[in-house]
Structure 1
Amino acid sequence: MAAATSSRGSNALSTRITSVLSASYADLEIRDALETLDARGVRNTAETRRQLRLDVQREVIQCNGEIVQGFGEVAEQLKRIGTAISSLNSYCAEMRSHIAAAHRETEPVLEEATILIGQRKQVETKQQILTAFNTHFLVSEEETTSLTSTAEPVNEEFFQTLTRAKKIHHDSQVLLGTEDQTLGLEVLEQSSKQINAAYQKLYRWIQREFKTLDLENPQINASVRRSLRVLAERPALFQSCLDFFAEARENILSDSFYAALTGSVETQNLTTKPIEFQAHDPLRYVGDMLAWAHSATVSEREALEVLFISDGDEIKRSIQAGLESEPWLRGDDDEEIFDGKKALNQLVSRDLTGVVRLLRQRTEQVIQSHDDATLAYKIANLIGFYKNTFARLLGTNSEVLELFNTLEGSAMRQFRANMRDHVAAVQNDLAVAPADLSPPEFLDEALQMLKVLAKSYDTSIAAVDSREDGFQSVLSEALDPFLSGCENLCKGMKAPDNDIFAINCLLAVKVVLAPYSFAEDRVAEMDDTIAEHAAKLVDYQHQYLGHSSGLNALLEALSDISDSSESLKTIPELEAFKPEALVAASHELDEFLPSALMDAAENLKRLGNRKMVQDITEEAARRFCEDFEFVESRILAADDLLYKEEDEEEDEPAPALRDLFPRTSGEIRVLLS
């Protein structure tokens, strides 16, 4: 039993030791306990260990007592708080009863205040809408006065107000989409009246400005250009304004042209002498008038170009906008709305109407009062030159070109009439051709006139594609009748005088026409005619050489001889080839050859072109040599056949044809070269 007791004691000790050793002294509770013991200064003694539990319990009891005492005080405080809360609850219940009574009394007032506040917000919203509406859709009295009153100037304020009025008119169409369209209709009507009145004011203002507008001033008022661009939105007013402007400019230019012609005292600051006093020559008189008209046209076009189309396509866009707002004014859909350059050319043409009328009168007086054909033709060419100039300046459809066509036709009719009178007078005085076969006097006079006409036509800068056609009518009037007279003279002449005379006349004409390209076709025709006459002269010279040399008789005798041996054998039997006749022909040829070329050239001595004389004679000599070679070949062929027969028969040989006619073709060519 002791052993068991000892065993349990050892186990308890070991358990205790194990418990102590296994305890973690890092535990917070153990650490706090140790710190508390250390703070009490407790020593590890048996007495201390016995009293420690009692001390701790006593301290716990004291702490609990303090806590109970504190809670008692808290309970007293809570009682006082409960009493206060009860008082507050009674007060609150009393206040709630008062509040409920007050709420019952003020509820109608609050409801009415709420309604009034809502109505106030609605009124404020409507006030804002009204202010915005007035600001956007209504024009003030001052702006209306500036827009419609003729006493107010057309300035930047006017254009700004007009732009705003047009925007109001456009935006008012939105109001027509609402349920109540009355307001939209009223605004639309009011804005339409204001805009129409503004355009009428602008139209009258532009008319007044046009009366005093100085187009000579390069700095044309910019407000006029802007006003025209804006007025173009009313095509009818714009066109009416253009008509008024054209009429005013027509009167101004007419007066200026009349003053330039006569130097009237009404016109001041004339820097040059009047045209009628300065230009004594009719051609210069017409030229000065045309030059003035051209200068005025250039100045007018430049000024109007700045006035009407310097802003690009602004007028076109304005007219298009006006037609969109007034579609009943629109014409054909395919028609272009506005062509600035075309309209400009038309306006300039209208401005020149008075000048054109006066120019036509004066020019026709000049044309009809002179019977000089060259003068009429020079005037026609001068008019043609200016017609092309005006066509490039104003376009081919300009009404001004009708004037030039009329004047040019009038001048050409006068030219043809004068030429026909001259031709009729010449035909009555036609005589025989000159003894030297030179061109007759009437042709020389015609060529002098033709030279003047060709030079005038060449300097008129006629259209390239119609230069020859244009001058053909001149040749038919100024040349062909005289050439016909020369041909009539040729018919009464004998050869070769008729061909020589014809060539001399044609060469004289060719000298006049050759320098001009527009007469190339006629020169080529004359070259062909000259070649025909030259061929006849070659035939004549050829016949002369053959007849004078006696060779024609031999050629005529050989005309029936063929290349066959039987035919060739008959040559010695021909009358022309018998010894006596052939020797005589040989002597005649020898006498002819030394002076053959000089004698032949003597026949053509009255031909004006010496080179042509030489060429014709040489061609005739060449053909003569060919004829001689033919005769020589026949003679040699006949001699060959004759010698063969005599050798076979062994008779006394007959005299050879070559011995009787010894000249060779080589000698002939040398002598005639």
Structure 2
Amino acid sequence: MATSYFQDGVSSPGANGGASVMSPSSPASVPLPRSNALQNRITSVLSALYADLEIRDALSILDDQGLQNTAEARRNLRLDVQQELIECNGGIVQDFGKVADQLKRIGAAIQNLNNSCAEIRRHVSAANRETGPMLDDARTILNDKRQVETKQQLLDAFKAHFVVSDADLATLTSTAEAVNDDFFRVLLRVKKIHQDSQVLLGSENQRLGLEILEQSSKHLNAAFQKLYRWVQREFKTLDLENPQISTAIRRALRVLAERPNLFQNCLDFFAEAREDILSKNFYAALTGAPVDHDHPVMGKAIELSAHDPLRYVSDMLAWAHSATVSEREALEVLFISEGDEIAKSIQTGIESEPWSRTEEQDTLVVFDGRKALSQLVDRNLAGVFRQLRQRTEQVIQSHEDAILAYKISNLVLFYGTIFANLLGEHSSLLETLRPLADTAMRSFRSITRDHVANLQASLTISPDDLAPPDFLVEALDTLQVLMKSYDTSIVTSDRTQRITGFQPVMQEALDPFLAGCENITNRLRDPSNHIFALNCLLTTKENLRRYAFADRTTDLQPRIEEHEGELTKAMHAWFLRQSGLDTLVENVARVEDLGSSYKDPNQLASIAQQLDAFLPTATEDARTFLGQLEDRTLARRVIEQGAEQFCEDFEEIEGLIVQADEMRAAQINGEVEEEVFLRDVFPRTGDEIRVLLS
């Protein structure tokens, strides 16, 4: 449209039907100002930026009007636009007139509302003036009501916390009421009241706190007295053998521990009752007579089934050990199963009642439940151990048997170790039990010494066969029994302690008999004394080697070697004497000592004949010489050593003879035709001797 408009403006003829104003051939010329204005106009139009939004909007509006690009339309365009604008403004004025009418009506309504509000304010002000005093009174009353309600709530809370009902007081203090969960519940509440009442002492109203504190203390004292009497009644009928011990009694003891004095009194009463019951049970186990018909004796009576005194003592100790274990386990369930609650309760009671402390409690820092348990077990079993000690002492005194006394001592020591592990080293029961071992050992020493005294006559008589005497054999047999008893009863694994522990027994049961053998040895001649000593020492050594704690090889071996050396010397002397070589050994030490034998070789020939007669049976004769030595290995070794020494002596004599013949041959130098040489008279050589004596 814009393009066509400019094209029409340029190419269309003028109003007078003339040619185009731009045509150069037009004869009529246009005045110059008009031509410049048109060019400026065209230039302005052509230089306009049609991408401008305003131009684009204007062109869009023209398109919407549906106008044709005619001269009339162009002339009337401004008028049409203005006309349309006037019409739009008129419509707007009409619309605003309607709005003005509506605003007038709204203003009238608002005025009416303002009038109504003013009227209402006047009525409200009048009402406020009339009801003001009543509202003030109502606020005062409501405030008083809230204060009363708060005080009532405080009173209800105070009564609920600090006041105990009559029914709860009856449950807590009346002996007709049972000690059950309700009792402990009320007791816990009263203890809480007693504790919280101390807070009231710091408030303004101390009198109330004092009254509640006094009242709660009285209720607590009555409750603990009731609990104390109930526990005592329960202890009378309490059956510790029943594994299902009532939880109520355990709880009662834990609570009663807060009153240490009452708790200790209950323990004393319980200990006396248990001591009486256990003493009766022990007597029933011994005799078979039941304490009552409800508790018959299981099995045979100890006095009827144990005919052996050692078995009798062992059964009594076994019963006491079983009773101790059962008692401790039952008391652990009764006193220790609640953990450290009893200890904590006792500590709490001591701290809450400082005026009731004793000197011992003043120094007590922590209550030891285990130690207290052991002490209670000691007290409960004191009667049993007194009876046990009396009957064991009767057995020891009525039997003059050293082995029995020693076995009883070992048995008591063995059980003493078990009880020490069970109850502790400082248990009072051990103070009753351990003296029994000392009594048995004194009896053992006394009986052993009496036996040694009775054997004094036998200690000087040597047996014909040089075998260990009967008293030594008997002593070693007895010692075997003692060593076996010691080995089965000792519990320590320390070798030094085991050896040290058995030494006193060795000193009593062996050393006197070895001393008797030594006396007999001193009265015998060689070589019988050495054979007898070796028989005794070797027998003793072999018997003692069976148990490491009794082995005396270190002490006996030097003595054995000493006697063996002496016996070897005797064997050597026997070889020399039987072979006749002793004459040569004693008299010939140099070559010159053989000079006389050349003049009279008969003596040397006689010795050679005796040697030849001796050698074939020398070994058998030597065995016969040592026939009473019981250790054949030792006898063979002694013969070999004696024969070796004999061969060395022979070789020494042989060497002297050879030297003498050589010297003799050099002296005569063949001048004497029938000269006798000693080698011809004494032809045996050392090698032949060794072969014959091997």
Question: Which of 257, 276, 282 matches 1:257?
Answer: 282
The CA deviation at 1:664 is: 1.7
Q: 1:176·1:184 contact (CA, 8 Å) conserved in 2?
A: yes
Which residue is 1:290 aligned to?
A: 317
The CA deviation at 1:414 is: 1.6
Q: Distance in 2 between the 1:293 and 1:79 partners?
A: 118
Cα deviation, 1:302-335, whole Å, max 9, x if unaligned, reads 2222222233333334444444445656958996
2:485 matched to 1:456?
Answer: yes
Which residue is 1:111 aligned to?
A: 136
3-state SS in 1 of match to 2:551: helix
Measured at CA, do residues 655 and 188 of structure 1 come closer, stay the same or move farther in structure 2, by a change above 3 Å?
farther
Q: 1:572·1:578 contact (CA, 8 Å) conserved in 2?
A: no
| Identity %, equivalent residues | 50
Cα deviation, 1:632-664, whole Å, max 9, x if unaligned, reads 344445555666x559x7866975554443322
Measured at CA, do residues 85 and 211 of structure 1 come closer, stay the same or move farther in structure 2, by a change above 3 Å?
closer
Which residue is 2:688 aligned to?
A: 667
Question: Which of 155, 165, 178 matches 1:130?
Answer: 155
User: Equivalent residues in 2 for 1:345-364 (5 A)?
Assistant: 345-364=374-393
Question: Which of 583, 605, 628 matches 1:553?
Answer: 583
The CA deviation at 1:214 is: 1.0
Question: Which of 229, 235, 241 matches 1:216?
Answer: 241
2:546 matched to 1:515?
Answer: yes
Q: 1:557·1:574 contact (CA, 8 Å) conserved in 2?
A: no
Question: Which of 313, 318, 330 matches 1:303?
Answer: 330
3-state SS in 2 of match to 1:459: helix
Q: Distance in 2 between the 1:67 and 1:358 partners?
A: 131
3-state SS in 2 of match to 1:277: helix
3-state SS in 1 of match to 2:455: helix
Q: 2:572·2:643 contact (CA, 8 Å) conserved in 1?
A: yes
| Number of aligned residues | 651
Which residue is 2:343 aligned to?
A: 316
- Structure 2: state its 5+ residue gaps: 1-28
Q: Which has the larger displacement, 252-261 or 90-99?
A: 90-99
Which residue is 1:597 aligned to?
A: 619
Question: Which of 397, 419, 430 matches 1:401?
Answer: 430
User: Equivalent residues in 2 for 1:207-606 (5 A)?
Assistant: 207-264=232-289, 266-268=291-293, 269-326=296-353, 328=357, 337-428=366-457, 432-461=461-490, 463-465=492-494, 466-521=497-552, 523-559=553-589, 570-573=592-595, 579-606=601-628
Cα deviation, 1:530-568, whole Å, max 9, x if unaligned, reads 332222221111111122223233333355x5xxxxxx6
Measured at CA, do residues 512 and 129 of structure 1 come closer, stay the same or move farther in structure 2, by a change above 3 Å?
same
Measured at CA, do residues 170 and 266 of structure 1 come closer, stay the same or move farther in structure 2, by a change above 3 Å?
closer
Measured at CA, do residues 555 and 514 of structure 1 come closer, stay the same or move farther in structure 2, by a change above 3 Å?
same
Letter in 2 for 1:479: L
Measured at CA, do residues 323 and 576 of structure 1 come closer, stay the same or move farther in structure 2, by a change above 3 Å?
farther
Q: Over aligned residues, Cα RMSD in angstroms? A: 4.7
Letter in 1 for 2:255: V
Q: Distance in 1 between the 2:492 and 2:85 partners?
A: 144
Which residue is 1:40 aligned to?
A: none
2:653 matched to 1:622?
Answer: no
Q: Distance in 2 between the 1:184 and 1:353 partners?
A: 49
3-state SS in 2 of match to 1:433: coil
Letter in 2 for 1:525: D
Q: 2:290·2:297 contact (CA, 8 Å) conserved in 1?
A: no
Q: Distance in 2 between the 1:422 and 1:497 partners?
A: 27
User: Equivalent residues in 2 for 1:35-54 (5 A)?
Assistant: none
Measured at CA, do residues 198 and 642 of structure 1 come closer, stay the same or move farther in structure 2, by a change above 3 Å?
farther
The CA deviation at 1:254 is: 0.3
TM-score scaled by structure 2?
Answer: 0.78
Q: Distance in 2 between the 1:444 and 1:608 partners?
A: 14
User: Equivalent residues in 2 for 1:19-34 (5 A)?
Assistant: none
Letter in 1 for 2:380: D
Q: 1:554·1:577 contact (CA, 8 Å) conserved in 2?
A: no
Q: Which has the larger displacement, 170-179 or 143-152?
A: 170-179
Which residue is 2:26 aligned to?
A: none
The CA deviation at 1:616 is: 1.9
- Structure 1: state its 5+ residue gaps: 38-42, 562-567
Measured at CA, do residues 627 and 181 of structure 1 come closer, stay the same or move farther in structure 2, by a change above 3 Å?
farther
Cα deviation, 1:127-170, whole Å, max 9, x if unaligned, reads 33333333344444333333333332222233333333444444
The CA deviation at 1:300 is: 1.6
TM-score scaled by structure 1?
Answer: 0.81
Which residue is 1:144 aligned to?
A: 169
Measured at CA, do residues 414 and 112 of structure 1 come closer, stay the same or move farther in structure 2, by a change above 3 Å?
same
Q: 1:571·1:577 contact (CA, 8 Å) conserved in 2?
A: no
Measured at CA, do residues 162 and 93 of structure 1 come closer, stay the same or move farther in structure 2, by a change above 3 Å?
closer
